Structure 1
Amino acid sequence: MRINHFVPHPRFERFLCYPESFGHYSKEPEHYENRPNGLTTYNWHIVRAGKGYVRIGDELVELQSGTGFLYGPCVPQLYYSDSSEPWDVRWIHFTARGLGAILQGRGEREPWLFSWTGVIRLDQLWSELLNSNIPPMQEEAVRLSAITYEMINLIVQHAETIEGIPKPGMRDKLAEAADWIRVHCCEPLTLEHMASQASCSPSHFSRQFHSLIGKTPIAYLIECRILQSKVLLVSTSMTVKHIAERIGFGNSSYFIQTFRKSEGVTPEQFRTLRGTSNN
């Protein structure tokens, strides 16, 4: 079974993302794609059953139910179904003009391989996409863009990058570690402290955390501290120096520099703009 839908260009050209085509292949042992120059769009597949293969450099990676892959524009593509146990895949080719901050470079140099097991909403959205009216009127175009946007956000937030076979429950451990970091962010934390919350080595923790959260543990820690500083700036009369010490920065100069880089203003300017009387 091969289902292919091709979508006309929308009249509104500024959607953050929009499908160019999408479909569903099942029980197709001869499904084989080799595109040395890739596509001009992103190419995203999820595997729902069976198995298939994706080539990354000289390595051939087997993908089974609950996994998937994403190619960025112009990235060479080679993937195919297993002949004896052909995969059941849902796929979409889409543009993503405004999603750089969300995708964080995924699929830009080589295919991003991931596990999406347990993300039930993702499969529901894919079914909704396949049942969409084609060709769309303007209202339907908005819905197609919204479905695509939600799907991309779900996979970025909940998928685990495949490095061999992901450890069961790693996503939950990382989420719990992120919550722990947020609660204890004002304490003098190191990468080793944070990694211990997920029971893994600092290097492995850093890679997996970045994959799930979209930033390194240290960057996330700083973000949590900046959020805490905002609360103190607008709700107390504490000095900037005292706030820097309270939230875990070594000195006020580094705090001011980091705050300005994050927010575009100094802590004192933020206090003036967002103080209690200005809310």
Structure 2
Amino acid sequence: MMKIQWYLPTPAFTKYVCYPEMLGHYTDFPQHAERRGEGFLGSYNLHLVFGGEGYVFHEGERIPMGRGKGFLFPRGAHQQYGSDLSQPWDVRWVHFGTELPLPLLEEADGTRGYFFTFDLGSGLESLFDEMYQLSASYETRSEPRLSALLYEILVNLLQNSEPLHGSVPLEIRHSIRSAADIIHGECGKPWTLESMARLSGYSSYHFLRLFRVVMGKTPNRYLTDCRLARAKLLLVSTELSVAQVATQAGFTQASYFIKVFKQNEGLPPKQYRMAFGS
């Protein structure tokens, strides 16, 4: 049996965007079970299950919680959950405070409980392990890192989790993000919606819909953003002409590049180079 937990003092700096209050790691601990009334816990409560089985009760429903699943309760919510007696959890958890307007936190606030699957290979274990190490030998100078690690965990889940009854499974999210990485790395190519869709094997219609859900923007908007980022780097780090920069960044016409650049950056490429170039 392993039952490790830490309680952290209120941080000396009061302006962290998020901060852990208590955290722990339980393995082979079948007695792990909680039942808290409405208003009892004044912090968010996040649990990630890396092995074993357990359950959460929510609005009269018993929700199985096994490997690769997690739950997030908001402040003050009624909570009832526990480990399976014969196959106890390997669970990592943290109670924390934050005012961040992240969608998963807003979902938990609105439904009084957010239940999800998460990507076991997204590095969450190592983030928790570092928080554990800092908590075990707590020093006030560790506070910024503890806050940063918690923030990284929340953003990681934002990208690598999906509601239990979600519309876009994790494997599809991975496929879309892999396509986005290729587009970013090769943004100078003459991409079309059809050629971008082929990267993930979906039809143009489905790719457009899925890309908008996963990446928060259309494929063409994402491509333009990547091209503009490359153009800005070329402007400040090379002596290429504006027309050459436009070509290398993937814009077919210099005049169109100048128009798009000014719309997005508020000044034309030459002025951007003068302002930020070495």
Q: Shared fold (TM-score greater than 0.5)?
A: yes
| Structure 1 portions without partners, runs of 5+ | none
In the alignment, the residues of structure 1 paired with residue 263 and residue 164 of structure 2 have an alpha-carbon distance, to the nearest angstrom, of: 33
- Whether 1:189 and 2:192 are equivalent positions in the alignment is yes
What secondary structure does 2:105 align onto? Answer: coil
Deviations 1:44-91 (A, max 9, x none): 2110222234567787643311232334x5484645235454433211
Deviations 1:118-141 (A, max 9, x none): 24x432342343354568432243
Map of 1:205 onto structure 2: 210
In the alignment, the residues of structure 1 paired with residue 47 and residue 14 of structure 2 have an alpha-carbon distance, to the nearest angstrom, of: 25
Map of 1:161 onto structure 2: 162
Q: Which amino acid aligns with 2:11?
A: P
Q: Which amino acid aligns with 1:7?
A: L
In the alignment, the residues of structure 2 paired with residue 144 and residue 34 of structure 1 have an alpha-carbon distance, to the nearest angstrom, of: 26
Map of 1:178 onto structure 2: 180
Correspondence 1:106-121 to 2 at 5 A: 106-110=104-108, 111=114, 113-119=116-122, 121=123
Contact kept in structure 1, 2:19 and 2:147, CA below 8 Å: yes
What secondary structure does 1:13 align onto? Answer: coil
In the alignment, the residues of structure 2 paired with residue 61 and residue 86 of structure 1 have an alpha-carbon distance, to the nearest angstrom, of: 16
2:147 to 145, 148, 164: 145
Contact kept in structure 2, 1:75 and 1:108, CA below 8 Å: no
Q: Which amino acid aligns with 1:115?
A: F
What secondary structure does 2:242 align onto? Answer: coil
User: How far off is 1:265 after superposition?
Assistant: 4.3
Contact kept in structure 2, 1:240 and 1:268, CA below 8 Å: no
What secondary structure does 1:45 align onto? Answer: strand
Contact kept in structure 2, 1:245 and 1:251, CA below 8 Å: no
CA 1:145/1:167 → structure 2, altered by over 3 Å: closer, same or farther? closer
In the alignment, the residues of structure 2 paired with residue 241 and residue 15 of structure 1 have an alpha-carbon distance, to the nearest angstrom, of: 40
User: How far off is 1:182 after superposition?
Assistant: 1.6
Contact kept in structure 2, 1:7 and 1:134, CA below 8 Å: no
Contact kept in structure 1, 2:44 and 2:72, CA below 8 Å: yes
Q: Which amino acid aligns with 2:200?
A: A
In the alignment, the residues of structure 1 paired with residue 248 and residue 130 of structure 2 have an alpha-carbon distance, to the nearest angstrom, of: 49
Map of 1:228 onto structure 2: 230
In the alignment, the residues of structure 2 paired with residue 197 and residue 13 of structure 1 have an alpha-carbon distance, to the nearest angstrom, of: 46
Tell me the TM-score normalized by structure 1. 0.70
Identity, % of aligned positions: 29
In the alignment, the residues of structure 2 paired with residue 117 and residue 76 of structure 1 have an alpha-carbon distance, to the nearest angstrom, of: 27
Map of 1:12 onto structure 2: 13
User: How far off is 1:222 after superposition?
Assistant: 2.5
Map of 1:238 onto structure 2: 242
Q: Which amino acid aligns with 2:119?
A: W
Map of 1:49 onto structure 2: 51
| Structure 2 portions without partners, runs of 5+ | 109-113
Deviations 1:20-57 (A, max 9, x none): 11123453456244565695543321102222345677
Map of 2:81 onto structure 1: 80
Deviations 1:200-259 (A, max 9, x none): 43266326633xxx6554443232021122145443222599669952689457614542
Map of 1:255 onto structure 2: 260
CA 1:254/1:188 → structure 2, altered by over 3 Å: closer, same or farther? farther
Q: Which amino acid aligns with 1:13?
A: T
CA RMSD of aligned residues (A): 4.1
User: How far off is 1:180 after superposition?
Assistant: 2.1
In the alignment, the residues of structure 2 paired with residue 258 and residue 268 of structure 1 have an alpha-carbon distance, to the nearest angstrom, of: 14
The total of aligned residue pairs comes to 262
In the alignment, the residues of structure 1 paired with residue 195 and residue 256 of structure 2 have an alpha-carbon distance, to the nearest angstrom, of: 21
CA 1:272/1:10 → structure 2, altered by over 3 Å: closer, same or farther? same
Deviations 1:89-109 (A, max 9, x none): 211122345x65xxx422312
Contact kept in structure 1, 2:56 and 2:82, CA below 8 Å: no
CA 1:76/1:253 → structure 2, altered by over 3 Å: closer, same or farther? farther
CA 1:163/1:113 → structure 2, altered by over 3 Å: closer, same or farther? closer
In the alignment, the residues of structure 2 paired with residue 62 and residue 207 of structure 1 have an alpha-carbon distance, to the nearest angstrom, of: 30
Map of 1:94 onto structure 2: 96
Q: Which amino acid aligns with 2:264?
A: F
